[in-house]
Amino acid sequence: MSTETPTKNSTSPSPRGDSSHPATNEGDALLQDVRESLHDIRNHLNAVLGLISMMLLQSRDEAASRFRPLVEEQSAQLRYLIDRLGQPGLVGRASVASLSTVDPARWVPALADLYTPFAAEHGMRLQVRVDAGTLRFTTDARALHRLLSNLLVNAIKHSQASLVVLRAAPLDATQPGAGVQFIVVDDGVGLDEQVQQSLNRVLSGQRDLSPQYDRAGFGIVSRLAREIRAGVLLDSELDYGTTVTVVVPSLDTPSTAPVN
């Protein structure tokens, strides 16, 4: 993958605490869980269908060696999400047991590979960049995967871009391993100021009932960000594109955590 990046300025948010905005009652929380699981299942199905389409265009050997592992990865995510539907209250907090050590140099290209065929179906390129000095850090890798998947799917489906870039950069160059900034940039149509402000309210965890824009994916991003104590900021300009910056601090975990 190339490391080309659309020219776009963004302001990095600060990581925020684990304060939450609970649903009004247990029934609302369960309904929200189900809706969000179904939304994520749809995202992964889109990726699987894109991968299968690419497999059909390749030779049998290439399809088996290159795309089958990606389909298996997405299928595993789907099984997990479907299992969640039968376990109310499973989501909400990153426990020590759910933490693992993420290696951005391996993890970010692998995530982008899952959605490259889906992007191609929408007439755009998906590229990745991992800045020098972006070191391993500890987080809930599954929650981070879901968060960034939602941002990538939103950019691919709605931005009308020719290029989407997923970039990883050190959170603090003076503190190796402190965390990572994940930046999703597109060169699409952009958003007007009112919609941008509304979406940033949603991403900060505030309620925003304005009907002007489909916020389903952004609401999920907001909740997942709170799970991993991340900060999220959207910056957009009409006709120039959109940048979403996710600041993910490293969370404490035993040194025996698995590496992704």
The predicted-structure confidence for 65-81, as pLDDT tens digits, reads as follows: 666 666 666 666 666 66
**CATH 3.40.190.10: does it fit domain 95-260?**
no
Quote the CA–CA distance of 177 and 104 in Å, as a whole number: 11
Q: pTM for the whole thing?
A: 0.67
Q: In 10 A of CB 35, how many CB atoms?
A: 13
Q: Locate tokens 């300009």: which residue? A: 237
The predicted-structure confidence for 86-135, as pLDDT tens digits, reads as follows: 554 444 444 444 788 889 998 999 888 888 888 888 899 999 999 988 88
Sequence-separated (6 or more) residues with CB below 8 Å from residue 99? 138, 139, 140, 251, 253, 257
Query: Are 42 and 48 spatial neighbours (Cβ–Cβ below 8 Å)?
Result: no
Position with higher pLDDT, 217 vs 102 = 102
Sequence-separated (6 or more) residues with CB below 8 Å from residue 226? 16, 18, 19, 20, 205
Q: Give me the residue spans of the domains in the chain.
A: 26-91, 95-260
Q: What percent of the chain has pLDDT over 70?
A: 55
- What confidence score (pLDDT) does residue 92 get? 42
pLDDT confidence tier of residue 235, bands split at 50, 70 and 90: very high
Query: 118-121 — which CB contacts under 8 Å span 24+ positions?
Result: 118/46, 118/47, 118/49, 118/50, 118/153, 118/156, 119/156, 119/164, 120/50, 120/54, 121/50, 121/53
Mean pLDDT, residues 226-242: 94
Mean pLDDT, residues 41-59: 67
